Amino acid sequence: MKNAARQSVMGAIRHHLATARAHETLPPDRDALPDAPEALPAVEGVEACVERFAERLGAVGGRAWRVRGREGAVEAVVSILTEADVRRLATSDASLVGAVLPDVLAQVDGLELVDRRDRQALFAAGAGLSSGQWAIAETGSLVLVSSEEQHRLVSLVPPLHIAIVPTTALLPTMAEGLRRVGSSGPASTITWITGPSRTADIELTLVVGVHGPRHLHVVLVDDE
């Protein structure tokens, strides 16, 4: 952009900002902005983390299930898939997924397992089943690390995402999640998921599921 054009654009921006402030449609400076909301008090222990995680996940449109052991995880996944009438399922290669998959396939009539290496097939899947390396109670977020499983498209493409997470992987705060990720070694991709996919247009109209799953279920598994 030439100097004269740049000056013209910047002049127009300054003029409109000044006009907006004169009409009180913008705060006069950053000191006039309202105080940020106080952070929720930290929680400790598995029970408190489970309760906080379920609350925060629900607040962003997801749902948490708490079950005991492999059989409980199978029952929850079967219930979710049956209710959603899923016919094609994509899965990651995580060990937790592999532990429940044979029974899930046996108990959901007509369920077809798609090849996760086939991107076209992934887009035709009704649900994706993955694990999660950590879950953050403070925000209701999942943390998926590619060095632990091949999960990225499974968790991002199908309209329904189910994640199986041990309750021992629940962390109280985002700060602790960042610390764990930083100390976990190299990974090509780290995915942070907080609720179903959502986006807003220029008019701030919120739409769910445009760029990813419309529904997110997290199955929290206690040791047997």
pLDDT digits 0-9 by tens, 204-215? 554 544 556 899
Alpha helix ranges (H) inside the chain: 3-22, 46-59, 69-83, 95-107, 119-124, 152-156, 174-183
For residue 86, the tally of other CB atoms under 10 A from its CB is 22
- Measured CA angle at 28 (ends 24, 32), to 5 deg: 105
Model pLDDT, residue 30: 47
The residue-averaged pLDDT of 66-90 equals 97
- Residue 18 pLDDT level (bands cut at 50, 70, 90): low
Would you call 184 helix, strand, or coil by DSSP?
coil
The residue-averaged pLDDT of 172-200 equals 80
Model pLDDT, residue 189: 83
> Which residues make Cβ contacts (< 8 Å) with residue 78, sequence separation at least 6?
103, 104, 107, 108
Question: What distances in angstroms separate CA 39 from CA 30, 125, 136, one per listed residue?
Answer: 20, 38, 14
Q: Which two tokens stand for residue 163?
A: 């994640």
pLDDT over threshold 50, residue 74: yes
For the chain, list the domains and their CATH numbers: 1-34 (no CATH), 40-222 (3.40.50.10420)
pLDDT digits 0-9 by tens, 93-111? 999 999 999 999 999 999 9
**Would you tell me the crossing angle of helices 69-83 and 95-107 to the nearest 10 degrees?**
60
- Pick the residue with more confidence: 14 or 106? 106
Pairing of β 206-208 and β 198-200: antiparallel
- Pick the residue with more confidence: 1 or 219? 219
